Amino acid sequence: MPSPRIAITGLGFVGAVGAHVSALEAALDQERSGLGDLTLFDSELSREYPVGQYRGDLRADFARLVRPLSAREAGRLSRSDLLALVAAAEALQMAALPDMARRNAGVYLGQSVCGTLSSESYYLDCAAQAASHGRASPSHLDRLFVHDGANSGDAIAREFSMGGPMASLMTACSSGANALGLAAARIASGQAQVMLAGGADSLSRIAFLGFASLGVMSPEGPRPFDAARKGMCVGEGAGMLVLESEAHARARQARVLAWLTGYGHSCDAHHLTAPHPEGLGAQAAMKQALADAGLAPSDIGFVSAHGTGTLDNDKVEALAIARVFSTRAVPVSSTKRYFGHTLAASGAIKAVLCVLALQRRRLWPNLGLQKAQDDSLDLVTQARPAPRLQHVLSNSFGFGGNNAALVFTAGDRP
């Protein structure tokens, strides 16, 4: 039996192409990548691999949307916190929730590296103090006591006085998608009427150098599903969505941007970093999402692929998609060349993109594709109109075989 459909009434976005859903939409329309040099921290590899770094001022963005932050407040917030807060502020502003609805709303946030960039800075400062003075100063240690390394969801709940259920989800690169799916399940069960859900992650040394050490980064940036692809690049950002029960959204006459109608998740139980060679977990997640939505594969008009640009991921995902959609080649595209792999934020940012695709009835191209790895997929190489687009599916696959798939259905027309 299909689950109750969940209304999406607000969207928020921050990423390498800008801070606002309109910035995302403009980059997609212009087919413009936000990849560039790493400037957040020094590394001998910072000129070798491009990254999807946000170049704006997050404190100024938050002040524009909500209020100015004092120096003391800003000092307690990590970069990941600020990314999440800015995207959350935009989503809540778009949804225009009444005060009581917001106070009862919950927050589910996907994260992975979280506030690691701040932790790294504190450690390096302490190490430098110890090297020059024999010990770290107490003021440096005090900063650690007020640093919530993995608590951006709590920062959102405090700032916007949201007293409903709150949780941080950490399933690697499927975290944001799982946060959305589990938040929707919370609403479907009747345990909540409104949830703010999504994902946020900032760049960090451990993520940048960690992926480089695995040999999966590409000096030319990602080229998802291309025969000559050489790897991925890391990015940072946040995607947040306001979810409501249908009854709650209709009672307050909110505009439904789209519906979250299906959710599936699975585990490969295969390897710490490599996907199952047959894509069994990926297939299972997609099939569960379709069943949850009460749809057949033939109902899906577009697949927003995880598509990192690595050799194994794209090969296995293409195989899994081809097997699930065995009777037809469904249009497929990856957005990783627009803003890099934003880790836990990836699935949530893709959810925002899926809502835009349904609203605009438009598919955006798979940037960087020159020659497809094979002919099993209908890869979108140029922007194309999709006047009959009604349902889309979004994949998010994380290390450890943590797989998630979401189905979105068209909502109220503008």
Residue 299 DSSP symbol? G
Phi and psi at 106, nearest 5°, equal: -105, 170
242 three-class SS? strand
As annotated, the active-site residues are 173, 306, 341
- Identify the residue whose tokens are 């709150």: 166
User: What is the C-alpha separation between 80 and 22, in angstroms, rounded?
Assistant: 21
User: What is the C-alpha separation between 234 and 222, in angstroms, rounded?
Assistant: 10
Q: What angle do CA 4, 195, 191 make, to 5 degrees?
A: 60
User: What is the C-alpha separation between 23 and 339, in angstroms, rounded?
Assistant: 12
For the whole model, what pTM was predicted? Answer: 0.94
- Identify the residue whose tokens are 């994902």: 199
Contacts of 404 (CB under 8 A, 6+ apart): 171, 174, 177, 178, 181, 263, 264, 265, 285, 347, 395, 396, 397, 398
User: What is the C-alpha separation between 282 and 275, in angstroms, rounded?
Assistant: 9
Parts of the chain with a pLDDT under 50 = none
| Per-residue model confidence (pLDDT) at position 97 | 96
Name all domains of the chain by residue range, CATH numbers in brackets. 6-115+150-409 (3.40.47.10)
Give 216-273 pLDDT, tens digit per residue. 999 999 999 999 999 999 999 999 999 999 999 999 999 999 999 999 999 999 988 8
Helix (H) or strand (E) holding 405: strand 402-410
Helix (H) or strand (E) holding 409: strand 402-410
Tokens of 202: 């900032």
Do 161 and 104 form a contact (C-beta atoms < 8 A)?
no
* Total Cβ atoms within 10 A of residue 356: 20
Could you tell me whether strands 331-333 and 378-379 are parallel, antiparallel, or unpaired per DSSP bridges?
parallel
Give 260-272 pLDDT, tens digit per residue. 999 999 999 998 8
Tokens of 104: 């009862």
User: What is the C-alpha separation between 226 and 57, in angstroms, rounded?
Assistant: 34
Helix (H) or strand (E) holding 79: helix 79-95
User: What is the C-alpha separation between 106 and 156, in angstroms, rounded?
Assistant: 10
| Per-residue model confidence (pLDDT) at position 144 | 61
| Per-residue model confidence (pLDDT) at position 400 | 84
